[in-house]
Structure 1
């Protein structure tokens, strides 16, 4: 049996306000071609299909087209919801689709999808606050939630098992484009939680990573931040019978490039059609710097200033990118009030963040 593991499509996402829809369409074309050429039996999509809970209509249309094209190839597709997805919206019609298996309800995490005597189990993103009570967990953590689901899966009598999960596993390398899922420092899940199955297809982190021989992140199919400039994007191709794994690179519609120096030096570089992040080191901020750069590099989308010999000012996006929401909120309190939040105020902020996530998850 041959599997193709992909995740974190983030359909509907833009890159520094530039639409990525055409690039995402190209990835879908590549995915369908790979499934056909490699004779894939099951496609695994490990969450964050959309970039937000209420995706734009063109993103929904592209998702529908992708699933229909995969179904037309007579393959099975297993999809779970991630922390960016609305489980209710993504899971609509889950019991009505043939060969497309949606797992967005936490309570169905241990109900197998049996394909050629292999049990496929989809663990959607688990918000600890939502499952702690129903599952009678001892603590409100991602580790407790994932462990409970995995214990139920390991108890299944089937000999061969494949798991999809959307989580941050300890030791994984993050990038700037993932939305933090930490509330009170409880986001990370140990690798040992996923022991005892044949393969674990992880989603959430945007760089491809091998956590172990049987536990892997496929990463996102496109770069969604300049921190991913050196990533190789694509999907994992798994031969379950031969126990072999290969990475299938995805097309790169427009490479990313970071340049740094005085404006005059950068303007002397060869022209480039890459997405450009430019950091200017001129002692005085040049006038109309972005306009000048775009005459040489038309796809310059991010401009920063770091004067030589001075302290580099940090843009707001850089200050908050990739950081836990609670840390950003606490920094805001400290900045506007001149003193840090106390313990009660921190708990109030954590509760507010959790309430927002629950509202977004159940929207």
Structure 2
């Protein structure tokens, strides 16, 4: 059996104020083509289908079109909710979907699988929606963390799977031990720190499809994150986009292949002085990219975003990143002033103070001397 593991579609998320629905639609159309071309039997979407608990109408349309396309390509679809989704809203839509599309959002149904069979027998697929520990304590006394609720859920999975026999796949949305999160992107599992789920929690199944981390990761041969199909941050721009194609043979897990997805627009961070960014030919190849520009001028420049957009129409972020100054013996401003032997040196001391050690440039020094000389001449004729 062939299973395509994807996750974290985040339908409706913007990228620095720009809508991503059209870009995501194109990527999901490529995924549907892979399902058709590779004769995929099951597609798993491991949580965070929507980016918001209250998605806009266009997000529902895109989801319905994508799920319909996957089903038309011949695959069964199993979707779970994540920490960004509203399980109630996502679950409501499940009643409106066609046969072969399963949206699993009810914690009470964790021990009841979606079963798909091939020539080697049944494969039982258990969906674990995102579980908030504080909301689960009434049903599962004693749980206090993500590790607790996932351990409890996996005990339900293993207990049912043992009684049924056959091969098993489980789906969850969490931080698992050994992951490398993208800063400021995967959030809200626990404020102020990571609520880590031990890798051993996922023992006892043939494959564990995880969501929440936006970059692909393999924690064990049978435990993997597929990541998001789009880049939603410059910090993840270097991470490939795609999904895992998982082969289950008669004896369990077989080959696992990475299936890359197209990147609608590359994400690039460019670092140079503002004049270089605006004119240097070495940046010409990136004029069609999403650009984060880091200009290294010593002082902030006037209206850098407007000027950069003239060359890079998809410039999304501008940062002033002056080089770290050379500091051999840090001095206070008072010490700099006391050591100044002239008015010109006094001005230089002030500039060094406000520029973290960088004093006046050659041109600035010339201008200061001209002004001081002019003042001396004016005082002499007064």
Q: Report the counterpart of residue 268 of structure 2 in structure 1.
A: 257
* 1:8-47 equivalence runs, <5 A: 8-47=8-47
Do structure 1's residue 234 and structure 2's residue 242 form an aligned pair?
yes
Shift of 1:184: 6.3
Distance 1:227 1:305 in 2: 17
Distance 1:207 1:15 in 2: 17
Shift of 1:295: 1.6
Give the TM-score normalised by structure 1: 0.82
Shift of 1:186: 6.1
Shift of 1:185: 4.5
Over alpha carbons, which structure has the higher Rg? Answer: 2
Q: Report the counterpart of residue 328 of structure 1 in structure 2.
A: none
Distance 1:270 1:129 in 2: 51
Cα 1:265–1:165 change in 2 (3 A) is same
Q: Report the counterpart of residue 205 of structure 2 in structure 1.
A: 197
Greater CA drift, 299-308 or 250-259? 299-308
Question: Does 1 or 2 have the higher relative contact order (CA < 8 Å, sep 6+)?
Answer: 1
Give the conservation status (yes or no) of the 8 Å contact 1:142–1:186: no
Work out which of the residue numbers 199, 214, 217 in structure 2 matches 1:206: 214
* 1:1-363 equivalence runs, <5 A: 1-95=1-95, 97=97, 98-116=99-117, 117-136=122-141, 138-156=142-160, 157=163, 158-176=165-183, 177-183=185-191, 185=193, 187-241=195-249, 243-267=254-278, 268=280, 269-271=282-284, 272-309=287-324
Distance 1:180 1:263 in 2: 37
Aligned length: 310
Greater CA drift, 292-301 or 120-129? 292-301
Tell me how large the CA RMSD over aligned residues is: 1.6
Distance 1:95 1:222 in 2: 28
Give the conservation status (yes or no) of the 8 Å contact 1:220–1:233: yes
Distance 2:310 2:112 in 1: 56
Deviation per CA, 1:265-323, whole angstroms, max 9, x where unpaired? 22214322110011122111111211111122111101111223369xxxxxxxxxxxx
**What SS class does the counterpart of residue 259 from structure 2 fall into?**
strand
Give the conservation status (yes or no) of the 8 Å contact 2:244–2:258: yes
Distance 1:283 1:185 in 2: 36
Shift of 1:69: 1.5
- Any stretches of 5+ residues in structure 1 without a counterpart? 312-363
Shift of 1:74: 3.1
- Any stretches of 5+ residues in structure 2 without a counterpart? 327-382
**What SS class does the counterpart of residue 125 from structure 2 fall into?**
strand
Give the TM-score normalised by structure 2: 0.78
